Structure 1
Amino acid sequence: MALTALELCSRALLRLGAQTIASFDEGTGEAEVAAGLYEGVRDALLSSHPWSFATGQSTLPRLSATPTADFRYAFQLPTGFLRALSAGAPGSGRGLEYRLLEDRLHCDAEQVTLTYIFRPAESAFPGFFAAALVARLSAEFCIPLTESTTRAQMLFGQAETELRQARRADSQQATPRAIQGFPLIQARG
């Protein structure tokens, strides 16, 4: 189900009973609302969960400029970066203390492997995520296009249900992670 941004927005508009769009800059109210809201809603939904299709790992390039305080090294974040999940030394995606400042990652390690959420192409969205995104877009488009707060509340409820189902489906695509470093388990010896 390879969809484009335009097709996702058109599906959301159909859910509202509005006219579909052929272009984001066709001059209609629907196109203006879709163009204004789509990217922000998409990025917020992608950032809200560690989706398997939008999670990546990358060894970050170290920058020549050093941080002003707290950490010794700065690293450039990857293109399409939305949210950090963890950072580790090479060969491990976790375990390092770090901080994100501006478009850089600061830490004391000389090399960093970052596990992060990135912005994939719409054609890479699995069906469960596309359905959740369409539901959320229709809720977001509702007030600007219909001025109905009651309908918008109902659509936001439906969008939350779709999002829960999408998270559940995505979470079942990997081996569950064991709890590591839990103090109560360590205290029991």
Structure 2
Amino acid sequence: MASQIEICNQALTKIGSARITSLADTSKQAKTLAAIYDVKRDAELAAHPWSFAMARSSIPASTTVPAFGWTKAFPLPNGFLRLVEVGENYVMYQSGGGELFHLEGNAILCNEGSPLRIRYVQRVVNAGLYTPLFVEALACRLAAEVAEDMTQSISKREAAWQEWDRAIKLAKRTNAIELPPRPLADGSWWGSR
């Protein structure tokens, strides 16, 4: 299982930079990685519905009703990064063009009954929960982000981005293979056949 420091050191190794012992170090490497780690980690988590970062929640409606357009507002759970599915049957889109919900501010607005069931990508700060391929992709992302600053080399930055592209594709493909197949929802197109 990887740690935050191991991921950062893997990134630094990829660009040929000195390793660190802590993000609290006074070295340029530690300061740079400490400044970007949380934001880049969250960006990589939110970019895909990683199995290890998925969560479910039944959210009670807020006592504050939206001013217009919707009958209820449901506050987003702590650690929320990306909405994946909404509603009783987890139907994301309604055939016929009508909106089922709207994500606005820190709430989901909709006309569903309370509690509202959702699936979402959550912030996972414990690097020990990451899959090995996600660790590799995150390390590549960090390497690409800091390469030019650490090495003054545009070619190292470009090479790091290419390595990230390969790593993220492999991580996403492997994550997708691990998910069970999902049946298609009956819709107007399906019914017309």
Give the unaligned 5+ runs of structure 1.
none
Give the unaligned 5+ runs of structure 2.
94-99
Q: Which has the higher contact order (CA 8 A, sep 6+)?
A: 2
Corresponding position of 1:123: 128
Corresponding position of 1:160: 165
Corresponding position of 1:170: 175
Output the CA distance in 1 between the equivalents of 2:189 and 2:73: 35
Tell me how far 1:73 sits from its aligned partner: 0.8
Q: Percent identity?
A: 28
Output the CA distance in 1 between the equivalents of 2:92 and 2:160: 40
SS across alignment from 1:99: strand
Corresponding position of 1:109: 112
SS across alignment from 2:178: coil
Report the TM-score, using the length of structure 1 for normalisation.
0.91
> Are the counterparts in 2 of residues 57 and 93 from structure 1 also a CA contact under 8 Å?
no
Tell me how far 1:88 sits from its aligned partner: 0.6
**Deviation digits for residues 61-86 of structure 1, max 9, x if unmatched?**
22111111211111111111000011
Change (3 A) 1:153 1:182: farther
SS across alignment from 1:172: helix
The amino acid across from 2:127 in the alignment is E
SS across alignment from 2:165: helix
Output the CA distance in 1 between the equivalents of 2:87 and 2:45: 22
State the Cα RMSD in Å: 1.6
Aligned length: 185
**Deviation digits for residues 92-130 of structure 1, max 9, x if unmatched?**
333571111111111111221011000122111011111
Output the CA distance in 1 between the equivalents of 2:92 and 2:9: 43
Output the CA distance in 1 between the equivalents of 2:162 and 2:92: 37
